[in-house]
Amino acid sequence: MTRPTSRRDPIGAACRVAALVVLFGFLAFAAYLGFTASQVVGMDFLRGASSGAADSAGIGPALAGTLWLLLLTAVLALPIGIGTAIYLEEYAPRTRLTAVIESVAANLAGIPSVIYGIVGLALFVRALGMGPTILAGGCTLAVLALPVVIVTSRTAIRRVPAGLRLAAYGLGATRWQVVRNQILPVAGPGILAGCCAAFTRTAGAAAPLLVLGTATFMSFAPQTPAHPLTSLPTQIFSWATRSHEGFTALAAGAAIVLLLLLLVMNLVSAFVVRRLGGASP
């Protein structure tokens, strides 16, 4: 038998070309970004504060702001999102109200992030008087992450074999014991993967934070959530829109740091998912 040639399999050949274009495109982009960023990235860049001069500016406050935002998103969105998913799947009776909640959660996951910024501006910044702070940003990003956490957690919970639930109930387990001992250990890797997807979406979101009003010049790193809002994506946006060439390199450097941060988050989550999936809960 011979390998199918492109003449015999034109669709396969086209797919191969498409994959190569994507691969080389990505490598070229990474190389460009890396080369541009290499001019600025160093410890001074990571720790340094904002500056009007391109050669002395750093991302210290913006990086700290993003870490704060991720922490707040995790603290707010994970318990509420996973809790809602567990409630909808395991506790809620199948009524019209739960059908509406399910439909709303599924549709919210597809709404552009800038809309969440407008909601955050009206609700957190103005109505609740938080002002354009990291707390308001964290709350807004938590709302942005929530539908994704709910939808993916529900999918993971629904994939738990019905027989496991039945067997546990048949052995006299209460609903909570079934959830804690059977559902969560089995659905855990899927829930974690979904949460990671939600985090990736929020960590890279600039639009909603720009709507809230972010500080792009900050001389010190935020110590509390009450600090004015700053983040890597908004810092990148600010630098990238300046005409001075030095700021383009700064934007590339900050983008590399953001990508590495997301990469580390994804790797850690993949590692944990594999450990959870492989070990007996």
Summarize as ranges the residues that interact with other proteins (CB under 8 A): 93-94, 161, 163-174, 177, 181-182, 185-186, 280-281
- Tell me the C-alpha distance between 44 and 75, whole Å: 30
Residue 96 CB, shortest distance to other proteins, in Å, is: 14
Residue 163 CB, shortest distance to other proteins, in Å, is: 4
Compare residues 165 and 227 and give the one whose CB is closer to other proteins: 165
Which residues, 6+ apart, have CB-to-CB distance to 221 below 8 Å?
A: 49, 60, 61, 63, 64, 65
Compare residues 169 and 247 and give the one whose CB is closer to other proteins: 169
Compare residues 93 and 129 and give the one whose CB is closer to other proteins: 93
Residue 166 CB, shortest distance to other proteins, in Å, is: 6
Which residues, 6+ apart, have CB-to-CB distance to 193 below 8 Å?
A: 152, 156, 269, 273
Give the DSSP letter of residue 5: P
Rg (alpha carbons) of the chain, rounded to whole number: 23
Residue 23 CB, shortest distance to other proteins, in Å, is: 37
| Token pair belonging to 83 | 């809790």
Residue 107 CB, shortest distance to other proteins, in Å, is: 23
The secondary structure of 203-231 as a DSSP string is: HT--HHHHHH---S--SS---STTSBP--
Provide φ and ψ at 133, rounded to 5°: -105, 170
Quickly count: other Cβ atoms within 10 Å of residue 8's Cβ: 10
Contact 254, 264 (CB under 8 A): no
Reported residue count of the chain is: 281
Compare residues 243 and 280 and give the one whose CB is closer to other proteins: 280
Compare residues 85 and 139 and give the one whose CB is closer to other proteins: 85
Residue 112 CB, shortest distance to other proteins, in Å, is: 35
